[in-house]
Amino acid sequence: MTSSFIQMEEIFNRTQTALNEFKDIITPVIEKAKDDHERLYWHHIYEEEDHRSDRLDHLLPQLNKINRNEGTVSTDDREFVYLLQDISLEKFGLHNFLEHLDLSLYTFKDTEFEQPIQKLRDMTAEDYQQSKQLLERLNEEFKMADYQASVPTDEKEDIDTSLKVEAYSQPAGEVEKKEEPNKYKNRKKLTVGSLKHS
């Protein structure tokens, strides 16, 4: 258990540094936006990350307190239950950050920022998967049900697959394996030959 909270604190510290680096990259883009659409697009992303930073400012000292063995660790303690929910939400925050970084890679492709953003992106993808595992462990240990508000659309069971981005629902290695049959299916559908023979 203790190690889970220590790893959580490390992940959230790391992602806060990363989000600040990202904010610095996109700030000039907002300032120099050529139209309202571009400005709103980047402002939206900036604002969400800024808000996440404020939430982490609140969460990190609480985690630190537990890790210094000063905080209460019991589900009888209401504050502790809130803390677990906050951690759960920040797992979602990592997922959202991952999407923001991927969106920005479209804009910053072939610029000096592509590499640094790609680095943040890969780190965040790993941290997201790790935070999912850590949370599962904590939820089991404290007999907590998975907090629905922290489940991204990509991972909800009652959502149509056409609304999901498969790349965000599982570790990179597994996506490739799963995508193979779909690619085959699409190719088959689109070939003139296959249409003639069907």
- Nearest CB to Fe ion, comparing residues 12 and 42: 42
- Nearest CB to Fe ion, comparing residues 48 and 102: 48
Between the alpha carbon of residue 142 and those of residues 75, 84, 135, 139, 151, the distances in Å are 7, 9, 10, 5, 19
CB neighbours of 92 closer than 8 A, spacing ≥ 6?
A: 149, 150, 151, 152
102 binds Fe ion (CB under 5 A): no
| Shortest Cβ 99–Fe ion spacing (Å) | 7
Neighbours of 180 (CB within 10 A): 9
| Shortest Cβ 165–Fe ion spacing (Å) | 13
| Shortest Cβ 163–Fe ion spacing (Å) | 16
| Shortest Cβ 104–Fe ion spacing (Å) | 11
| Shortest Cβ 176–Fe ion spacing (Å) | 26
Instruction: Draw the binding track, 30-49, toward Fe ion (x: CB under 5 A; -: no contact).
Output: ------------------x-
88, 147 Cβ separation under 8 angstroms = yes
Between CA 90 and CA 94 the distance in angstroms is 6
Between CA 128 and CA 198 the distance in angstroms is 43
- Nearest CB to Fe ion, comparing residues 5 and 97: 97
- Nearest CB to Fe ion, comparing residues 51 and 188: 51
Report the interface residues with Fe ion, using CB under 5 A.
48
